[in-house]
Amino acid sequence: MALIEAVPNISEGRDESIIDAVVKSVEAGGSTILGVEPDVDYNRTVITYAGNKTEVTRSSVNLVETASKLIDMRNHHGNHPRMGAVDVMPFIALGESTDKDAERVAEDVYQILADDYSLFKYGLSASHPSRARLPSLRKGEYEGLSSRFSGGDWPNEDTRLPDNWDGATKPTCLEFGAMAIGARSVLVAYNINIIEAEPKVSSMVAKVIRSSGFVLRGHSTKKMRVKGILDYVQGMGVPLESHGISQVSMNLSNPSETGLHMAFEVVRVIAESMGVEVRGSEIVGLVPLQAMLDAGSWFNGGHDSEEALVLKAIEGLGLDQLTPFDPDSRIIEWAVRNKRGAL
């Protein structure tokens, strides 16, 4: 079956009535909801849905238009970087679909929304290599958009303006902000729990392990960038106030190369060497089956059934630490199979 998955992140994680209205707008477009994960601390909700190209296009437009009416970024506060009411809208190929199919859906949605919203193409849809990474586009967040669009200080002119910039800020920008949209490969949003209230160790660990590394400053104005330990990883340290802990919050952009188990073990070893305990982790959104099987194989040390390896992964990564992890609804292939039939 040729399916497209969409995983938009909306800047609302506390008001259930708003989240429900946005989810209903997705369903009205014909897509199947695979997951809805609000986070109170981040004040952000990850909504995962899938369908054919027409369904996902229609649902995605509905989602943006509904969020635009209900979420006012002037009143938004949360612990996660964001630049708009719908911060990011990625499209991923599933089943028999290809990356090109996902790119076409992203372009169709972009064209429909371009007259009314400030849009940055990213990922596989980026118009320039420097615009492919979300952190480069989201720098300065919502609060910095006005200065950014009006010629204020900005580190890279290639990433300053939206792709649909026509010389004037969109009327929706004050309340809605801006949105990143594009196709991408499968990505795993993965957070590791650090037992500290303030994200001191978690921030240090994130800098050391993320691919971009950190800037080391020397005498006078001298500085150099030191590469991070892990490839295909974006990371930062964030507080999780509702649980009194912090997290190393990561995006694993190539989980077949840098898997869940590798990220978990590296973070654990470094954090423990700094005298801080790691206690489990969480996956935000859905995860590919193979990523769970790879992790299960690491913790199991041998060959076993898919179901047994998944259980080993859940146990070894501590995925039940904060909230229960249901593999039937959280593993992409199993969730799609259960809701729409076999791929």
Neighbours of 215 (CB within 10 A): 10
Closest CA to 140 of 109, 112, 161, 115: 161
Amino acid letter for position 1: M
Amino acid letter for position 151: G
For residue 53, CA distances in Å to 100, 102, 103, 134, 163 come to 12, 8, 11, 24, 23
> How remote is the C-alpha of 271 from its chain's centroid?
23
Provide the total of helices (H) and of strands (E) in the chain, helices listed first: 12, 13
80 catalytic? Reply is yes
Cα separation of 136 and 155, whole Å? 10
Contacts of 10 (CB under 8 A, 6+ apart): 19, 22, 44, 45, 47, 63, 67, 71, 85, 86, 87
Marked catalytic residue, from 77, 80, 261, 303: 80
Neighbours of 323 (CB within 10 A): 9
The three-state secondary structure class of 264 is helix
Cα separation of 341 and 338, whole Å? 6
Q: Which amino acids are annotated catalytic?
A: 80
